[in-house]
Structure 1
Amino acid sequence: MTTPPDSDLTAMQRAVQRTWTPDSHWHIGDLAWQSPSLPDRTVKLWRGSDGEVEAWARLTAPAHLDMHAPPELLPAVLDWFHATTGEVEQTVTAMNSDAELIAALRAAGYQEAAEPFFQHCVRDLDGHLPKPVLPSGYRVRTVEPGELAARAAVHRAAWRPKWIGSLQVPPVDLGDGESGMTTERYAKIADTWPYRRDLDLVVEAPDGTLAASALGWYDDVNQSALLEPVGTDPHHARRGLGAAVSLACLHAMRDAGATLAVVCPRGDDAYPVPRTLYHRIGFRDAGRTVAYRR
Structure 2
Amino acid sequence: MWRDADGEVVAWAGLIRPGGLELHASPSLVPTVLRWFDQAAGSVEQTVTAMDTDTALIAGLRNSGYCEADEPYFRHCVRDLDGDLPAPTLPDGYRVRATRRGEVAERAAVHRAAWRPKSLGRLQVPPVDLGDGESGMATERYRVIAETWPYRRDLDLVVEASDGTLVASALGWYDDVNRAALLEPVGTDPRHARRGLGAAVSLACLRSMRDAGATLAVVCPRGDTGYPVPRELYHRIGFRDAGRTVTYRRAA
Partner SS, residue 50 of structure 2:
strand
Alignment-derived partner of residue 165 in structure 2: 209
Helix, strand or coil: the match of 2:218?
strand
Alignment of 1:138-217 (within 5 A): 138-167=94-123, 172-173=127-128, 175-176=130-131, 177-217=133-173
Give the Cα separation in 2 of the matches to 1:84 and 1:218: 31
Structure with the largest fraction of strand:
2
Counterpart of 1:220 in structure 2 is 176
Q: CA deviation at 1:171?
A: 5.1
Q: Give the match for residue 6 of structure 1.
A: none
Give the paired residue count. Answer: 249
Unaligned runs of 5+ in 1: 1-44
1:174: how far off?
Answer: 5.4
Inter-partner Cα distance in structure 1 for 2:175 and 2:185: 16
How far apart, in 2, do the equivalents of 1:86 and 1:220 lie?
37
Give, as a single letter, the amino acid of the residue that structure 1 aligns with 2:199: A
Question: Which residue of 32, 45, 49 corresponds with 2:5?
Answer: 49
When the two chains are superposed, the root-mean-square deviation of aligned CA atoms in Å is 1.4
Distance in 2 separating the partners of 1:86 and 1:69 = 21
TM-score by length of 1: 0.81
Give 4+ residue runs of structure 1 displaced > 6 Å after superposition.
Answer: none
Deviations 1:170-228 (A, max 9, x none): 65105234322122221121122221111110000111110000011111221111101
Distance in 2 separating the partners of 1:146 and 1:283? 33
Q: 1:287 aligns with which of 213, 223, 243?
A: 243
**Residue 65 of structure 1: aligned partner:** 21
Matched residue SS, 2:157 = strand
- The alpha carbon displacement at 1:230 in A equals 0.4
The equivalent position to 1:114 in structure 2, one of 51, 65, 70, is: 70
Instruction: Name the counterpart of 2:46.
Output: 90
Structure 2 vs 1, CA of residues 83 and 174 (structure 1 numbering), >3 Å: closer, same or farther?
A: farther
TM-superposed deviation, 1:79: 0.7
CA distance change for structure 1 residues 266 and 276 in 2, over 3 Å: closer, same or farther? same
Question: Match for 1:288: what amino acid?
Answer: R
CA distance in 2, matches of 1:283, 1:60: 27
SS at match of 1:175: coil
One-letter amino acid of the structure 2 residue matched with residue 126 of structure 1: D
Amino acid at match of 1:173: V
Matched residue type, 1:93 = T
TM-score normalized by the length of structure 2: 0.94
Tell me, in whole angstroms, the C-alpha distance in 2 between the residues paired with 1:232 and 1:189: 19
Instruction: State the 1:149 CA deviation.
Output: 0.9
Q: Which residue of 2 aligns with 1:31?
A: none
Identity in percent: 73
Aligned to 1:130, what secondary structure does the other structure show? Answer: coil
Q: Which residue number in structure 1 is paired with residue 192 of structure 2? A: 236
